[in-house]
Amino acid sequence: MLRPVITIDGPSASGKGTVAALVARELGFHYLDSGALYRLAALYALREGVSWEDENQVARLAAQLPAAFHDDKVWLDGHDVSAAIRAEDIGMGASRIAALPSVRAALLERQRAYQQTPGLVADGRDMGSVVFPRAELKVFLTASAEERAARRYKQLIAKGESANLLQIQQDICDRDARDAARSVAPLRQEPDARLLDTSALTIDQAVNQVLQWFRER
């Protein structure tokens, strides 16, 4: 098993990012937050005055994305955009541009370059289906829509932001519907992915389950 890959795909606000980062830390592996790349591309387009509907121009920007991940922060063109890319409208923008085939193609090799020794944990929507189809372990991590909305709500309130639970649940459902309905790399559980429903699990329990599946291999 040279440079093994664990993929963790699933719907928005399922907690896959938190679980993936902790599994990576536990194993000493690299971590790829592929959603952050789509968010960065959406933010970059917005800042460059390019419409999210303009496939050619967004793909051009995605191919030359001046992005970096270091010091626990996300950088775009030398600016810390860690908070900016997490805004709800940028999440929506990411979901829009992620439906454009040339944008996905522009980000493909960049994501694959993360597969380095001693291993990689990658989270997103198509990590197991498209980007790393030969991954050693594929996990489809989910939770009920109510639970996911409640978690997102608590996060926003903890950050001191105002939040409306029903609106959050509606936004999450809209985003999932778009991610699942698109023709290219739709969100779905691969036949060879293990299902992890975290609705009734703590973060530690979810992390331990993934580690156990990986060690059993």
Residue 71, C-beta contacts closer than 8 angstroms, at least 6 positions apart: none
Tell me which of 32, 39, 114, 129 binds ligand C5P, using CB under 6 A. 39
Q: Is residue 124 involved in binding ligand C5P (CB under 6 A)? A: yes
Nearest-5° Cα angle at 92, 86 to 96:
130
Q: How many residues bind ligand C5P (CB under 6 A)?
A: 15
Closer to ligand C5P by Cβ: residue 28 or 30: 30
In the complex with ligand C5P, the residue whose CB is nearer, 27 or 33, is: 33
Q: What is the 3-state secondary structure (H, E, C) of 4-59?
A: CEEEEECCCCCCHHHHHHHHHHHHCCEEEEHHHHHHHHHHHHHHCCCCCCCHHHHH
With CB under 6 A as the contact rule, the residue among 6, 67, 100, 179 that binds ligand C5P is 179
Tokens 């050693």, located at residue: 136
Q: Nearest-5° angle of CA 158, CA 35, CA 7? A: 105
Among 98, 100, 143, 193, binds ligand C5P (CB under 6 A): 98
Q: Which H or E element spans position 213?
A: helix 203-216
Nearer to ligand C5P, 34 or 198 (CB): 34
**Choices 73-81, 87-95, 133-141, 161-169; region in contact with ligand C5P by CB under 6 A:** 87-95
CB of 176 within 8 A of CB of 12? yes
Q: Does 94 bind ligand C5P (CB under 6 A)?
A: yes
Q: Is 52 a residue that touches ligand C5P (CB under 6 A)?
A: no
CB count within 10 Å of CB 70 equals 7
Stretches 32-40, 140-148, 152-160, 204-212: which one binds ligand C5P (CB under 6 A)? 32-40
Binding status of residue 12 toward ligand C5P by CB under 6 A: yes
How many whole angstroms separate alpha carbon 197 and alpha carbon 10?
10
- 34, 115, 129, 169: which one binds ligand C5P (CB under 6 A): 34
Tell me which residue of 55, 137, 138, 143 sits closest to 103, measured CA to CA.
Answer: 55
Interface residues toward ligand C5P, by CB under 6 A: 12, 34-35, 38-39, 91, 94-95, 98, 124-127, 175, 179
Binding site feature residues for ATP: 10-18
